[in-house]
Structure 1
Amino acid sequence: MEENFSNYFDQTGKVAREYLETRLDLVKLQAAGKLSKALGLFFSITMAFLLFFFVIVFLGMVVGFWIGEMTGSFTIGFSCAAGLFVLLLVVLLVFRKSLIQRPLSNLLIAEMVEEMEEREQETPLND
C-alpha cells in the first residue's frame, strides 16, 4: 500500500514538473511572439521615417537649386530652402501632439487591441 502511495506521488511529481516545464516553454514562446511583433513594428516605423527623411533632404536640394536658378544666387536659394525647413520644424514642434504623438499612440493601441482580440479568438472561454 505504501508503495502505491509513493508511486502515485512520484508520478504526480513527474507530471507536475512536465506541466511546469511546458507552461514555461509556452510563456517563452508567447513572449518571443510579442517581442517579434513589437520589433517588426519598430523597424517598419524606423524605415518609414528614414525614407521620409531622405525624401525631405532631396526635396530641399531641389528647392534650393530651383530658387537659386530663379534668383541667380545659390546662396539665396539654399537660404530660402533652409528657411522653409525651419518653418516646417516650428510647425512640427507646435503641432507635434496632433501630428506625431497621437497617431503613433493610436497605432500602438490598435496593434495591442488586435493582439488581444486574436488571443481571445484562440482561447475561447469555458462556460
Structure 2
Amino acid sequence: MNWRRVSRVDNVDAYVHRMLVHKLVDEKRLSWAKVRLLGSMPEPRRPPVPPDEELVERDSVVSALAHLPRGQRTVLVLRFLCDLSLADTAAAMGCSEGNVKSQTARALVAVRQVLGVSEMSGRSTR
C-alpha cells in the first residue's frame, strides 16, 4: 500500500476496497494462486453431498461468467455478489456510473445467452 497516496485520498475506505479488488483480480490471474499450502489436510466441514440442482445451477453460472470479458465479470461480481451500489461499483472500478450501467446490461445479456434464459420468463429456453 502506498501510504502517501492513501493520505491524499478523500475516501480511504473506497481506496482500500478498490485496492483489494485489484489484488484479487491479479491473484486469480496467477496459476499459483490456486494452490493452497497447508501443513495438513483440513477436516471436512460436512460430508460430501451429491450434486443437486443448486450445485448444477451454480456451476453453470460460474461457467457463464467465465465467458465474459474482465470488466463485465467484475461489474457483475461487485453489483450482485458484493451488493455494491451503482456509485460504489463505479468508484471501485474507477469509471463512470454510466459505464457501470452499460457493462451490467451487456454482461446480463451475455450471461442469459450462455445460459439459454429469456429475459422475461427467467426460465431456460433449452
Normalised by the size of structure 2, how large is the TM-score?
0.29
Higher relative helix content: 1
TM-score for both structures, normalised by structure 1: 0.29
Higher-Rg structure is 1
